[in-house]
């Protein structure tokens, strides 16, 4: 089991901060998590800023290095700008309350 942990952890560490597709949704990988039920998870954040634990069993599609760099950069920038916009919109809404 330790070998699997080290292999998965090293693989995930190589993709931290990248945008990925998991179950048809875009996420940004935060880190590897193994604290729950002897299973392995990706800790990720979606475009709305919501954190999620995603099972490593389901797998994911890493986009960086798979699609052309220009396309990846556009997705990455759109992901970041959408999150920033939503953060600002939430802040403005909370100030009105």
What domains appear along the chain, each with residue ranges and CATH number? 2-96 (2.30.30)
Q: Provide the 3-class DSSP secondary structure of residue 94.
A: helix
pLDDT at 44: 92
Instruction: Point out the residues of the chain with pLDDT beneath 70.
Output: 1-3, 35-37, 94, 96-97
Single pTM value for the model: 0.76
pLDDT of 46-68, one tens digit each?
Answer: 888 888 989 888 778 999 999 99
């Amino acid at each position: 089991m330790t070998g699997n942990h080290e292999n998965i952890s090293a693989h995930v560490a190589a993709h931290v901060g990248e945008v990925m597709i998991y179950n048809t949704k875009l996420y940004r990988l935060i880190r590897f998590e193994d604290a729950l039920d002897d299973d392995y998870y990706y800790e990720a954040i979606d475009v709305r800023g919501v954190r999620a634990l995603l099972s490593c069993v389901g797998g994911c599609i890493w986009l960086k290095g798979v699609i052309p760099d220009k396309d990846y950069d556009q997705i990455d920038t759109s992901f970041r700008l959408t999150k920033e916009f939503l953060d600002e919109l939430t802040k403005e809404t909370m100030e009105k309350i």
